Amino acid sequence: MIKQLLAVAGVAAALPAAAQAAAAPVPAVPSARAAQAAPVSAYPSPGARTVEAGAQLSLRGVAPAAVGPLEVTGSRSGRHDGRLVAHPDGDGASFVPERPFTAGESVTVRTTLNVAGARNGDFGWTIATPGPPLRAMAIPPATLSGSGVARFHSRHDLVPPRVVVKAARGARTAPGSLFLGLFSAPYQHGPGQIGPMIVDASGRMVWFHPLGDDQLALDVRVQQYAGRPVVTWWQGVNNLGLGSGVGEIYDSSYRAVATVHAGNGLSADLHEFLLTPRGTALLAAATPVVWDASAAGGSRRAVVYDDVVQEVDVSSGLVLFEWHSLDHVGVAESHIRAPRVDGHLYDYFHLNSIGELPGGDLLISARNTWGVYRVARASGDVDWRLGGTRSSFRAGAGASFSWQHDARATADGTITVFDDGPTPGAGKQSRAIGLRLDLRRRTVRLVHQWSHAPTLLAGTQGNVQTLPGGDALVGWGSQPHLTEFAPHGAPLLEATYPRGVESYRAYRFPWSATPDSQPDVAASAAPGGRMRVYASWNGATAVARWQLLGGTSEADLKPLATAGVRSFETLLQAPATAVVAVRALAADGTVLATSRLAAVRPA
């Protein structure tokens, strides 16, 4: 019953047993009201104007048993029955209606709680009038040829783009491997397959996970989930810069741990998939709604993309927080010209990063307003704006930016931003910058700048990651490059991808993994009664050497040769035998895994 209700409300994950036990019918609100001293936050927020028809009501800051009676009524759809489901952290509950609301109607919520923004516990929101759904953009088929791809004897099914890494002489880079979500640029034929990839600091491929032609994997990185390191990415389809997909979480054996869906009937946009220490994920979504764009000189019935931020509990799929751009940032702040014809699409905001600040507030970047926003979690209000047409800060020399991506707050209080500055824009080159805010004087000054030589201009995408020791890793977005800079700004390492291949963001992280699979082996006869044997193990990080075993059958395999690992695939040579296998050895000689038995193919 609970799973059926959650499916109606747009929650993809099944409830854990504890949450199922906590679900209960919601009684009506009695006429006598009892005020609760502690304020409770409600999402959708009181007064929200673009709520999804499949929305749940999330109440945060209250013990589930203390929620009390609720009454939820649509102005057209009438009274909504539902279930109250406890949040796994015990700090709230969600009301999950049995059926969706009606587009364009007003919803009234009556409670006995002290809800922030409500009046005596009562509040309401408006259900959006939806525009046409996002359409998936077909990704051109890859060109599986040329020097831009890597091919392997032991893994014919893998044809990844080749990543070339060059380090400055004597450079001491930060530890860890490089994490990329490689894909073909729109309307181009990029070489090889696309998918999440890990390469080491020398450019050796560590792991590659190819996807189907209609799928992208973006924002590939290491995060923490349930106290353990995991590799995560957004996966889905693209529609000219807006996505429809899910967040993926894989463990250090490359086994799927969880697939995270946006809630309330939305689909996760490609721009963010950020895990929190609370077992939740921050997701973006873009939903088209009919909206008055006349404040920006546009149509009164334009179809405007409302950018949504959700915090979703990974284990249950419940939405714990929701924020809508149209409720807090007006269309007049956009640097994109509004359409003057009814029904035309308007991407006025274009959210492209979500970060969490100390205390729980959010830092949100919007490309098309040139703005970075501090959003109060409890109310959803914008506390301040950095950049854009209504900045709360007076910018010093070099501290302005345009069409930016990936705003992040660092441990020392600096805010880093990837400043695209592309056409049609306000800059001649892209750069990564660090900004220092003075909240008292309301000023912002430039404290770091990382630029590429020769000049690169990224039309889209890009990020900057601060690394231990003070280095900065910059992904150049639509330009097929990443650069690691020293604290004083000197380039230490440069990686390039083939022409026509991009990575939305690029990262460096320490990573240790043992695949949940056997190593792969391929063998063929060579002149002079010898054989060539190729060994690989996609995703393994601890293999130092390979040992070759050969014989007439599995029963009489004997060690024949060893070779150190220098690339994804290792060549071993020995006198020819009928069958072979390989062992993956750690640096201390420990056997990590053994391949299947393979027959030696004729020359």
- What is the structure's pLDDT at 147? 78
- What is the structure's pLDDT at 423? 52
- What is the structure's pLDDT at 262? 98
Residue 193 scores a pLDDT above 60: yes
Residues 490 and 534 grouped into a single domain: no
Residue 548 scores a pLDDT above 60: yes
pTM of the model: 0.92
Residue 2's pLDDT band, with cuts at 50, 70 and 90, is very low
- What is the structure's pLDDT at 447? 97
Question: In this structure, is residue 159 part of a structural domain?
Answer: no
Residue 108 scores a pLDDT above 70: yes
Q: Which of 457, 483, 509 is the last residue of a domain?
A: 509
Residue 481 scores a pLDDT above 90: yes
Residue 567 scores a pLDDT above 70: yes
Residue 16 scores a pLDDT above 80: no
Residues 499 and 559 grouped into a single domain: no
- The CATH number assigned to the domain holding 593 equals 2.60.40
Q: Which of 474, 489, 509 is the last residue of a domain?
A: 509
Question: In this structure, is residue 276 part of a structural domain?
Answer: yes
Question: In this structure, is residue 202 part of a structural domain?
Answer: yes
Instruction: Indicate the Cα dihedral angle 427, 430, 431, 437, nearest 10°.
Output: 50
Residue 517 scores a pLDDT above 80: yes
Residue 14's pLDDT band, with cuts at 50, 70 and 90, is very low
Residues 567 and 477 grouped into a single domain: no
Residue 600 scores a pLDDT above 70: yes
- The CATH number assigned to the domain holding 99 equals 2.60.40.3780
- What is the structure's pLDDT at 500? 85
Which residue would you say has higher pLDDT here, 132 or 312? 312
Residues 393 and 467 grouped into a single domain: yes
End-to-end CA distance of the chain: 62
% of the chain with per-residue pLDDT over 70: 90
Residues 424 and 530 grouped into a single domain: no
Contacts of 218 (CB under 8 A, 6+ apart): 181, 183, 233, 234, 235, 243, 270, 504, 505
Region 341-362: mean pLDDT is 96
Residue 20 scores a pLDDT above 80: no
- What is the structure's pLDDT at 55? 97
- The CATH number assigned to the domain holding 265 equals 2.120.10.30
Residues 436 and 542 grouped into a single domain: no
- What is the structure's pLDDT at 405? 98
Cis peptide before 44 (omega within 30 of 0): yes
Q: What is the pLDDT of residues 47-75, one digit of tens each?
A: 999 999 999 999 999 999 999 999 999 99
Question: In this structure, is residue 245 part of a structural domain?
Answer: yes
Residues 112 and 198 grouped into a single domain: no
CB of 512 closer than 8 Å to CB of 228: no
Residues 22 and 170 grouped into a single domain: no
Residues 243 and 111 grouped into a single domain: no
DSSP letters spanning 291-350: E--GGGT--TTEEEEEEEEEEEETTT--EEEEEEGGGTS-GGG-SSPPP-STT-EE--S-
Q: What is the pLDDT of residues 209-254, one digit of tens each?
A: 999 768 899 999 999 999 999 999 999 998 878 899 999 999 999 9
Question: In this structure, is residue 332 part of a structural domain?
Answer: yes
Residues 272 and 178 grouped into a single domain: yes
Residues 595 and 501 grouped into a single domain: no
481-485 β-sheet, strand order: 164-167, 491-496, 481-485, 472-475, 463-466
How many beta carbons lie within 10 A of that of residue 496, not counting itself? 18
Number of domains in the chain: 3
Question: In this structure, is residue 152 part of a structural domain?
Answer: no
Q: What is the mean pLDDT of the chain?
A: 91
Residues 15 and 74 grouped into a single domain: yes
225: part of which helix (H) or strand (E)? strand 216-225
Contacts of 600 (CB under 8 A, 6+ apart): 523, 524, 525, 531, 576, 577, 578, 579, 580
Residue 575 scores a pLDDT above 90: yes
Q: Which of 79, 104, 126 is the last residue of a domain?
A: 126
User: Domain range for residue 291?
Assistant: 164-509
Question: In this structure, is residue 19 part of a structural domain?
Answer: yes
